[in-house]
Structure 1
């Protein structure tokens, strides 16, 4: 038996833009169901907000997102979620970093670290903190 863990991101009106951005970085397929699509409109101003969405890419990347309706309390918090992207190919991780870095605030530059050939952290324009690193062989 196996499971898949998917990061689920919560927004207030920015879920579609975030999904489109992550799709531009990682590729794959985007699905976005609005409150209107699902027949769940309670506030007409939020009809086109995402009730459920995801990006799934062939390289294993997967993220879900939705827009929290205004009737529901929501506080994005500070560093409430980190999304970790790990790989064993330096060029691939660097290319993903370069795309995610557009419009982002770099917290820790992508560079060699004591525990990894490359490690970096950034906060993207949607306030999501991403940690990217290249896995190091385990040396026990």
Structure 2
């Protein structure tokens, strides 16, 4: 898989209906994962909230979205982040290193509970970036 650049929208509890709406609009395949799918790891009150949703369309569009994690404020204007994903660790780590330099790291780029390497930072211009490196299938 080559690397891709796509929007990631945050919601205040309505990620599931919103992502279902986008599926109606654009068509394609929608995959959603709730915080509860990870069992005891789900924060209180979040078991049915969307931890990650991804819509992939036949036109080649990818739209991701999730409910804001606990402890983070949702306000219009900060509800979109840019997500870089793929399976090329060197390429994506290179982007991560440059984006996080001079910025603020909120989630270090490291292996996460879902098996991928993930990190989140805000660059020196105030743009939020998420980098996800999928485990290579082999």
- TM-score normalised over the length of structure 1: 0.51
Q: Which position in structure 2 is the counterpart of 1:23?
A: 23
Residues 1:33 and 2:33 aligned together: yes
From the CA coordinates, give the structure whose radius of gyration is larger: 1
Deviation at 1:78, TM superposition (A): 3.3
Distance 2:63 2:76 in 1: 19
Deviation at 1:2, TM superposition (A): 4.8
Deviation at 1:79, TM superposition (A): 7.6
Distance 2:78 2:67 in 1: 18
Q: Which position in structure 2 is the counterpart of 1:12?
A: 12
Distance 1:79 1:48 in 2: 23
Q: Which position in structure 2 is the counterpart of 1:61?
A: 61
- Post-superposition, which runs of at least 4 consecutive aligned residues in structure 1 deviate over 6 A? none
- SS of corresponding position for 1:65: strand
Deviation at 1:73, TM superposition (A): 2.1
Aligned-residue CA RMSD (Å): 2.5
- SS of corresponding position for 1:38: helix
- SS of corresponding position for 1:16: helix
Distance 1:17 1:32 in 2: 11
Corresponding pairs, count: 81
> Which aligned pairs between 1:60-99 and structure 2 lie closer than 5 A?
60-70=60-70, 72-78=71-77, 81=80
Distance 2:15 2:79 in 1: 17
- SS of corresponding position for 2:38: coil
Unaligned runs of at least 5 residues, structure 1: 83-140
